[in-house]
């Protein structure tokens, strides 16, 4: 961000374009997956929106009439035409419609291409209900701002508005920005801001014009960062960038603050402009890459080294001719090889889920039968540790719309963990009940449990709770990640409660089919 010039006064609160109130919208979902279309409709309809769906691009263009829709959610890969072509047709037919690209093929190139063709946002599959709602709210906010701008232009044409045209246009653009913008004068007082700033820094109300940042947000990370910037004269730098961490690791975010001097036409400094961008996802991706490298160096290297060591002993003859001893070493090699296979399987499962390449067949699934099958499959493991499994699922429990294979994967993971992390002679209790439109399934154990600080990261990739009790328990740290990805893809949620030494309870919530009248 190079130094730039803006022509504005100090301004007041009245000088800003007020945000429009939230309102219901007409939304078109264009996706060839029925589960995705119906899932999005199920999430957005209760928020007051009217949701239409189209399974192909041609069907979408047939129902896309000017002035009918506010927002289009467009899948990148369609059977008859790709999402970029659909975006072009949407712009030709109704420039007022805002669009969000949804795709399992999330690449920077695809995001840039979609943005060039009119997409306001880029949502990677699989996404959670909260991520969908946030993207829709952002896009509709831009839609309402554009409608408000159009209304103001019409009023101005009839001499009903006294505001200066250039200032009004500039403020409308600033208010529609996804990045946060803060502008300070020479006295370090706020002279310009936009709504995105409040969302990024977690402030409930709009930052007041004419106030200093320390006066509004004392000890805030942004304030601390800006104080360091003010220690350097604005005319001594073209642009400064600094990362700002807001909140805790569990629910915090990382912002990139780009700071540049604001110059008047004569090149004199009027103050500073700060553009804030949320880079939390990029930081999370970087952490995941580091975790993966660390995992590969340990969880792959250690078993391979053990296998190689045992085989060297046998092949060199140093192990002797004792068949029992040689068999023991070969069995240990087999155990290490099986742990590597399990790790590779979990990595492939996670990659498939995150790439959106999973072929998901939705049908009514009896979770009682699924869980009974899981318990029967894991019975030997439970008996070896004298773990008693108690299943309390009513016979009339409602079926859920889900992929049976993925449900088996979810509950195999949860019940297996409840056995592995239990105490000898312990108990696993599995129960189910309807709760507020969801089928809730609890998998509770009497095992070693977890500390409170571990609960916020237990679903992260490669996360394993390290303690003396878990040091001899094998695992990849991906099982619970896969569980959460699958449940999120079914528009549900998974929660955990645990206490050190008292056990853990994992609760899965899956939406029940809506009752149909008549």
Could you tell me the residue ranges of all domains in the chain? 26-153, 177-278, 280-353, 358-518
pLDDT confidence tier of residue 432, bands split at 50, 70 and 90: very high
Q: How far apart are CA 286 and CA 181, in angstroms?
A: 26
Whether 348 shows a pLDDT value over 80: the answer reads no
Q: Among 19-33, 227-241, 431-445, which stretch is predicted with the lowest mean pLDDT?
A: 227-241
Distance separating alpha carbons of residues 503 and 267, to the nearest angstrom: 66
pLDDT band, very low/low/confident/very high, at 84 (cuts 50, 70, 90): confident
Q: What is the DSSP string of 316-336?
A: HTTT-S-HHHHHHHHHHHHHH
**Long-range pairs of 226-235 with CB within 8 A, sequence gap ≥ 24:** 226/184, 226/257, 226/259, 226/274, 229/259, 229/272, 230/188, 230/272, 234/261, 234/269, 234/271, 234/272, 235/261, 235/269
Residue of 258, 254, 246 lying closest to 279 (CA atoms) = 254
Which CATH homologous superfamily contains domain 26-153?
Response regulator (3.40.50.2300)
CB-based contacts of 340: which residues, under 8 Å, 6+ apart? Answer: 300, 303, 304
Weakest-pLDDT range from 37-51, 146-160, 414-428? 146-160
For range 507-511, the mean pLDDT: 93
Q: What is the CA radius of gyration of the chain?
A: 28
Query: How many DSSP H helices and E strands does the chain contain?
Result: 17, 17
Q: pLDDT category, 10, cuts 50, 70, 90?
A: very low
Residue 103: enclosing H or E segment and its boundaries? Answer: strand 98-103
pLDDT at 83 over 80: yes
Mean pLDDT of the chain: 79
Question: What kind of architecture, by CATH, is found in domain 280-353?
Answer: Orthogonal Bundle (1.10)
Give the SS3 label for residue 47: helix
Q: Pick from 276, 255, 274, 278: which is nearest to 6 by CA?
A: 274
Q: How confident is the model at residue 205 (pLDDT cuts 50, 70, 90)?
A: confident
Tell me the average pLDDT across 459-483.
66
Cα dihedral 183, 187, 219, 261 sign: positive
| Lowest mean pLDDT, pick from 9-23, 112-126, 475-489 | 9-23
8-17, 149-158, 160-169: which range is least confident on average? 8-17
Structure token digits, residue 238: 């073209």
Cβ contact 423:446 at 8 Å = yes
Q: Where are the alpha helices (DSSP H) in 387-478?
A: 404-420, 452-455
HEC letters along 243-264: EEEECCCCCCEEEEEEEEEEEC
CB 100 within 8 A of CB 74: yes
β strands within 247-396, DSSP E: 253-263, 269-278, 363-365, 388-392
In this predicted structure, what is the pLDDT of residue 288?
64
Q: How far apart are CA 206 and CA 404, in angstroms?
A: 48
Neighbours of 203 (CB within 10 A): 14
Average pLDDT over residues 425-453: 90
Peptide bond preceding 126 in cis form (omega within 30 of 0): yes
Whether 74 and 99 have beta carbons less than 8 Å apart is answered as: yes
Q: How many CA atoms lie within 13 A of 488 on its CB side?
A: 19
Give pLDDT, residue 82. Answer: 85
Instruction: List, for residues 321-341, the tens digit of each pLDDT value.
Output: 788 888 888 888 887 777 677
Residue 2 in this model has a pLDDT that exceeds 50: no
Percent of the chain whose predicted confidence (pLDDT) is above 90? 15
Q: Which of 414, 439, 440 is nearest to 428 (CA)?
A: 414
How large is the average pLDDT for residues 53-75? Answer: 90
Residue 473 has pLDDT above 60, yes or no: no
Residue 444's closest CA among 404, 386, 390, 407? Answer: 390
Q: What is the pLDDT of residue 18?
A: 37
User: Considering the chain, what percentage of its residues have pLDDT values greater than 70?
Assistant: 79
Phi, psi of 299 (to 5 degrees): -75, -20
Ranges 12-16, 278-282, 494-498: which has the least confidence: 12-16
Q: Does residue 91 contact residue 66 with C-beta atoms inside 8 Å? A: no
Q: How far apart are CA 134 and CA 140, in angstroms?
A: 10
The fold for domain 177-278 equals Beta-Lactamase (3.30.450)
CA–CA gap between residue 331 and residue 323 (Å, rounded): 12
83 close to 103: Cβ distance less than 8 angstroms = yes
CATH 3.60.15.10 fits 358-518, yes or no: no
Residue 83 Cα to chain centre, angstroms: 22
Q: Which of these ranges, 33-37, 68-72, 256-260, 336-340, has the smallest mean pLDDT? A: 336-340
**Is it the case that residue 78 has pLDDT exceeding 70?**
yes
With H, G, I as helix, E, B as strand and everything else as coil, classify residue 194.
coil
């Amino acid at each position: 961000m190079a130094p730039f010039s803006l022509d504005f006064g100090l301004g007041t609160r009245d000088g800003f374009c007020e945000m429009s109130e939230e309102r219901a919208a007409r939304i078109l979902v264009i996706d060839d997956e029925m589960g995705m279309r119906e899932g999005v409709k199920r999430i957005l309809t209760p928020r007051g929106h009217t949701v239409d769906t189209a399974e192909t691009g041609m069907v979408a263009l047939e129902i896309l009439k000017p002035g009918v829709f506010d927002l289009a959610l467009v899948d990148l890969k369609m059977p008859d035409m790709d999402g970029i072509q659909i975006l072009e047709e949407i712009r030709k037919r109704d420039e007022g419609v805002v669009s969000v690209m949804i795709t399992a093929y999330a690449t920077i190139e695809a995001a840039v291409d979609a943005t060039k063709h009119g997409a306001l946002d880029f949502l990677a599959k699989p996404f959670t209900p909260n991520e969908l709602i946030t993207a829709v709210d952002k896009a509709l906010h831009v839609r309402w701002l554009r409608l408000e701008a159009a209304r103001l232009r019409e009023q101005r044409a009839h001499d009903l508005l006294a505001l200066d045209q250039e200032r009004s246009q500039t403020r409308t653009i600033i208010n529609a920005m996804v990045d946060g913008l803060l502008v300070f004068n020479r006295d370090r007082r706020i002279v310009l801001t936009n709504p995105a700033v409040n969302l990024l820094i977690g402030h409930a109300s709009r930052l007041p014009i004419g106030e200093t940042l320390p006066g509004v947000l004392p000890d805030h990370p942004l304030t601390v960062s800006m104080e360091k910037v003010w220690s350097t004269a604005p005319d001594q730098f073209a642009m400064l960038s600094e990362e700002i961490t807001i909140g805790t690791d569990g629910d915090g975010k990382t912002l990139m603050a780009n700071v540049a001097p604001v110059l008047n036409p004569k090149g004199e400094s009027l103050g500073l402009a700060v553009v804030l961008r949320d880079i939390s996802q990029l930081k999370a991706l970087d952490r995941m890459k580091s975790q993966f490298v660390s995992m590969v160096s340990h969880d792959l290297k250690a078993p391979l080294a053990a296998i190689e060591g045992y085989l060297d002993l046998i092949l060199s003859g140093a192990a002797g001719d004792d068949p029992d001893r040689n068999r023991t070493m070969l069995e240990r090699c087999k155990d290490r090889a099986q742990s590597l296979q399990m790790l590779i399987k979990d990595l492939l499962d996670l990659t498939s889920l995150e790439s959106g390449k999973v072929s998901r067949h939705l049908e009514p699934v009896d979770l009682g039968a699924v869980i009974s099958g899981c318990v029967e499959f894991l019975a030997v493991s439970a008996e070896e540790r004298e773990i008693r499994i108690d299943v309390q699922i009513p016979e009339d429990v409602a079926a859920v719309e889900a992929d049976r294979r993925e449900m088996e994967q979810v509950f195999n993971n949860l019940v297996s963990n409840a056995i592995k992390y239990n105490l000898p002679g312990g108990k696993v209790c599995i129960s189910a009940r309807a709760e507020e439109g969801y089928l809730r399934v609890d998998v509770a154990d009497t095992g070693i449990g977890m500390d409170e600080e571990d609960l916020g990261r237990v679903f992260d990739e490669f996360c394993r709770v390290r303690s003396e009790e878990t040091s001899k328990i094998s695992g990849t740290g991906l099982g619970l990640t896969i569980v959460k990805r699958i449940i999120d893809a079914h528009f549900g949620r998974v929660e955990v409660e645990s206490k050190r030494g008292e056990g853990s309870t994992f609760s899965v919530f899956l939406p029940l089919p809506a009752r149909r009248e008549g």
